[in-house]
Structures are given as structure tokens and as C-alpha cells.
Amino acid sequence: MRATDHTLNHVDPLAQQIWDLVAHSPLQTLWDFQGVSPVLVGKRTFRAILSDDLLSRAAEMGYYFLFALFPTLVSASSILGLAARQASHIYDKLLHYLSLVVPGGAYSMVIETFNQTAAHATTGKITIGLVAAIWSASVGFASIQDGMNTVYKVRESRPYWMARGQAILVTMLLSVMVTANLAVLLGGDLIARLIYLRVWHHPLALGTVVVVHIVQWTLASALLMLQFSTVYYFAPDLKAKCWHWVTPGAVIGIFGWVICSLGLRIYLHFFNSFSMTYGSLGGVIILLTWFYMTGLMLLLGAEVNSEIQAAVAEKHLKERGVIPPHVDAEPVISAG
């Protein structure tokens, strides 16, 4: 167990039996509440957000996301720059689709950093960049692992080498998924543009373009859901796991992430004073804020999923008389 692990400090021993059942007996589907009220799940999720201190954990994850971003960009752009200048230009086009969710000031800083490192790629940068990216990515995913363990009330029992190795592999897998997601957006736009220019029958061209965009965004949404599901499957140290393609928590997390991203963009469009106040640090602060929102929505989705499983487990344990009726997986926090 890591020295920073404090996941079980506030959990009642009787209530811990509920979470032990969750860790050992996952539900096959999270859409079947088995008689548990969705309102009850919502109330307990709200209490869990406070008791698990998700706001602070999201801030920790946001820092590590920022810490991992630029070494990853250095290594990726260096490899692409040495492989082929055209490859770096293609990746630059892919990164432009990040502007759909990343605020303008932060996005400009990311693109500028990518272009500068791609233009001065060297072998040394690849070595240093890869080592830094691997280390920072493992530390970043470790913060996700710790946050997910807090959500599920389990202690980290994986050996250090296994946890770090898994963090590196999952981060590489997620990087491929993100690249594929951006490629789907780029490819969809290119296909739609070709169809619009090459098909002379205007109504047919317009209808085909609409279909292409529907398929494009459906695939992009599916890949985003897959990324959330991957994190929810690999991050927590549950003793038994069950893969879920789509979960209520992932749906809520993605929806909240999109709303927060668009909301931040709208706010910065009308009330952008970061550059005036903080100068060149404004872009870093905006990016860190966006990473904070991303981490918070990721944890929120996991919290929803965990509370669904805990509510069902609690119901079954009470029906069998294993725990008293008054035991609650998420007890009310006293004012004192």
C-alpha cells in the first residue's frame, strides 16, 4: 500500500463489508439497479463526493495531467519529426481538433509547443522525451489509480512494479485511442469535403455529407466512451472485474465533461482576463483548469458507478441478514 493511501480511514467496519462485496463480486450490468431507487444513488453519490474529497483529488489529477502533457508532446513530435516532416504536419492537423474542447488560450500554447519541438527534433529529444513521458505518465495514472481506489474504498495491493507497469501500458493505449479519435474527426471532414466537391448532384451530396458526419461523430463518441471504460476497468484495484462497454457513470462523466469544456470556452470568450492578469502564465492556468474539470468528471463517473454497485450490494447483504438495517454504505456526514 502506498504511503499516501488513506482510502479506508472514514469507512465504518460494517459498511466496509458492502465495499468488500463490491470489490469481489462486480455486477454484470450497471443499468439494472435491482430495485434500488435512482434517487437514493444520487443522494449517496453527492455525499460520497464530499466524504471522498473528490474536489481535492481532481486538483491532484489535473496537476499530473499537466505534468505529463508536454513531455509526451516532446517525444511524439520528435519521433514524427525525425520519421517524416509530413507526418508531423498530419499530427498537427489532428491536434487542431482538440480546439473543439480545449479553451483557446490553452490550445494555442499546446500547438505552439508541439510545432516548436517538431521543428527541432533530435535523437536526444526522443530519448529524454520518452523517458520523461513514461515516468510522468506513470505518476499521472497512479493518481488516477489512487482516486479510483478512494471511490471504491479499496486499498492498493498491487506491487509497485505492476502498478507502474500497468500505468505505462494503459497510458500508451489511451494515447492510441485519443489519436484514433482525432483521426476519425479529421478523416470524416476530409471525406465529407471530397464528397461535397466531387458529387455534382447537390441534394445527394448534401445528404451524403450529413450521413458522413453522423457516422463520424458516432465513432468519435464511441471511442470516447471506450476511453472512459478503459480507465474505469484498469484503474481501481478491485479483486474481481467485469468489463462494461457503457455505464451510467461514463455517460454522466462524458456529458459533464463536454458541458464543462464548452462552458469554460464560453466563459473565456466573454470574460477572458487571464492573459491580462497572469500574462504568459494565463494559458497554463486555463489548461490546468480544464485538466481539473476533466479529472473531476472522470471521478464523478466512477463515483456514480461505485454507488450503484454499493447500493445493490447493501440491499442484498441486508436481505440475507449479514449487516444490520441501519448500516449505510455512505453514511451522512455529521456537522461536527
* Average pLDDT of the residues in 17-37: 91
Residue 2 confidence (pLDDT) above 50: no
Write out pLDDT tens, residues 240-270: 999 999 999 999 999 999 999 988 888 877 7
What percent of the chain shows pLDDT beyond 90? 35
Q: 128: Cβ–Cβ under 8 A, 6 or more apart, which residues?
A: 74
**Whole-number Å distance between alpha carbons of 167 and 237:** 12
- Predicted TM-score of the model (pTM): 0.85
pLDDT of 65 reads 85
The answer, yes or no, to whether residue 225 has pLDDT greater than 90, is yes
Q: Mean pLDDT lowest for which of 162-171, 238-247, 307-316?
A: 162-171
**Higher-scoring residue by pLDDT: 32, 97:** 32
Q: For 55-96, write each residue's pLDDT tens digit.
A: 999 999 998 888 877 666 666 555 555 554 555 566 666 667
Please give the pLDDT value at position 45.
94
Any idea how long the chain is?
336
pLDDT attached to residue 83: 52
pLDDT band at 3 (very low <50, low <70, confident <90, very high): very low
* CA 166 – CA 141 distance, rounded (Å): 9
Query: What tens digit of pLDDT does each residue of 124-152 get?
Result: 555 666 676 667 767 778 889 999 999 99
Confidence of residue 1 (pLDDT cuts 50, 70, 90): very low
pLDDT confidence band for 205 (50 / 70 / 90): confident
Q: What is the per-residue pLDDT for 84? A: 47
How confident is the model over 8-20, as pLDDT tens digits?
556 677 788 889 9
User: What's the CA gap between 66 and 284, in Å, rounded?
Assistant: 9
For the cut 50, the answer to whether the pLDDT of residue 4 exceeds it is no
Give the list of residues 6+ apart from residue 35 with CB closer than 8 angstroms, or none: 315
Q: Choose the most confident range, by mean pLDDT, from 46-50, 121-125, 193-197, 319-323.
A: 46-50
- What is the full DSSP assignment across 68-103? HHHHHHHHHHHHHHHH-HHHHHHHHHHHGGGGGTS-
pLDDT given at position 240: 92
Backbone angles phi, psi at 237, to 5 degrees: -90, 65
Is residue 332 within 8 Å of residue 86, measured between CB atoms? no
pLDDT at 264: 86
| Interatomic CA distance for residues 217 and 80, integer angstroms | 27
Residues 274-290 pLDDT 10s: 666 666 677 788 888 99
Residue 273 pLDDT class (50, 70, 90 cuts): low
What's the burial of 119, exposed, middle or buried (CB within 10 Å: 0-12/13-18/19+)?
A: exposed
Tell which residue, 88, 92, 72, has the closest CA to residue 120. Answer: 88
Model confidence at 6: pLDDT above 90: no
180, three cell numbers: 484514433
Neighbours of 240 (CB within 10 A): 9
pLDDT at 280: 66
Report, as an integer, the average pLDDT of 205-216.
88
Helix axes 54-83, 85-95, angle to 10 degrees: 150
Integer-rounded Cα Rg, in Å, for the chain is: 22
* CA–CA dist 21, 281 (Å, integer): 47
CA separation for the pair 234, 63 (Å, rounded): 21
Alpha-carbon distance 36 to 14, whole Å?
20
- Tell me how many helices (H) and strands (E) the chain has: 11, 0
Q: Are 73 and 107 in contact (CB under 8 A)?
A: no
DSSP per-residue letters across 14-44: HHHHHHHHHHHS--S-SS--TT--HHHHHHH
The reported pLDDT for the residue numbered 269 is 75
Is residue 79 a contact partner of residue 128, using CB atoms and an 8 Å limit?
no
